[in-house]
Amino acid sequence: MSQAERLEHLYRSHGSDNHLDLMTAKWSKRKHDIIKEYLKALKFEYAVTNEEAGCLAKLRCCKNREDLVSLKTDLFKHREVSAGIEFIRTAIHHIILFWKNNKNVLNNLEDWWRIFLYGPVFDSAFSSAQEYNIIRSESESQAYKAYCILFKDVLPPGEKQKMDKVDMIVRTADHQFDIFSAEDKPLSATRKSVQDMIAKNQARRVITLDVIEKQLPRPELISYFENFTAIWHGNLMRLHCTRKINGRFYHYEAASTHVPLSPENYEGIARLLLIVLSLKV
């Protein structure tokens, strides 16, 4: 079966109303291996340069904080580096600072996390690209604005445009389109508030794909597009994605990782930076 046929098969058994949430669907143990094979088509594609890959390999090999500090020192010896290496060495520096300032993580709210973690290890990856603008702190999503303009003929008369406030947006330099968006929740956030934010992100991804499809020369080309959103919950980052194939929306978790609260799990740090650099492409 083709990728589209496999996903359609999954939809018929677990989806409804043209949506299949692969993160919440319940799979039987008997079908687990088959489902796993089906979902390979939705695998997140990592994309970094050879130089960045080599640097991340050194990060994975760190055994303790001293190794990480040594790596940071070596990276900062170079005056001129690529944007990717600049991001990696700056992120490492701020993660070391984060370990020095995280004694009260359970009580710190979003602003603290943005200053000490999200800004340095996430937002800054996009700041070097001239084609992007980073919009921060309760920014209004462009997706619903564009949807109301493009679909005004099918919207109920008198319906007000939905306002969608987002914590972080990567927007094109001409301010016409939102490439990517992210929401922040502190470590103390309840499970319900995190799930509500995941649902909000999912709705935005659907609207964004509808807007893209409306502007394509052929609607079936939308199957080649994917839209990502991220949610930070304290030191945990989850990357979610939606694709629209044959009129069905498929929602899945593309990647997840975390920044350790103490000097350990350097593999996880390298994975986070790999994911962020891949999103930038």
pLDDT surpassing 60 at residue 155: no
Q: Which of 167-176, 247-256, 263-272 has the lowest mean pLDDT?
A: 167-176
Tokens describing residue 209: 């794909």
Highest mean pLDDT, choosing among 115-129, 141-155, 161-175: 115-129
In whole angstroms, give the CA distance from residue 88 to residue 164: 32
Which of the two residues, 238 and 140, has the higher pLDDT score?
Answer: 238
In whole angstroms, give the CA distance from residue 191 to residue 244: 28
In whole angstroms, give the CA distance from residue 132 to residue 216: 22
In whole angstroms, give the CA distance from residue 208 to residue 200: 12
- Per DSSP bridges, beta strands 227-233 and 236-245 are antiparallel
Radius of gyration of the chain, Cα coordinates, nearest whole angstrom: 20
In whole angstroms, give the CA distance from residue 219 to residue 2: 19
Predicted pLDDT of residue 200: 94
SS3 of residue 143 by DSSP: helix
> Cβ contacts of residue 195 below 8 Å, gap of 6+?
none
Angle between helices 65-75 and 50-60 (to 10 degrees): 150
pTM for this model (two decimals):
0.90
Tokens describing residue 17: 């109303």
Go through 188-210 and write b for each residue having 16 or more CB atoms within 10 A of its CB, e for each that does not.
Answer: ebeeeebeebbebbbebbbbbbb
Predicted pLDDT of residue 13: 85
252's enclosing H/E stretch is: strand 248-258
pLDDT surpassing 60 at residue 58: yes
In whole angstroms, give the CA distance from residue 121 to residue 91: 5
SS3 of residue 173 by DSSP: coil
In whole angstroms, give the CA distance from residue 52 to residue 277: 9
- Edge-to-edge strand order for the sheet containing 19-21? 19-21, 248-258, 236-245, 227-233, 178-185, 165-172, 132-140
pLDDT in tens, 31-55: 777 777 777 777 888 999 999 999 9
Q: How far are the Cα atoms of 44, 122, 270, 272, 273 from residue 55, in angstroms, in the given order?
A: 21, 17, 9, 13, 11
pLDDT surpassing 60 at residue 212: yes
CA nearest to 232, candidates 168, 165, 146: 168
pLDDT surpassing 80 at residue 154: no
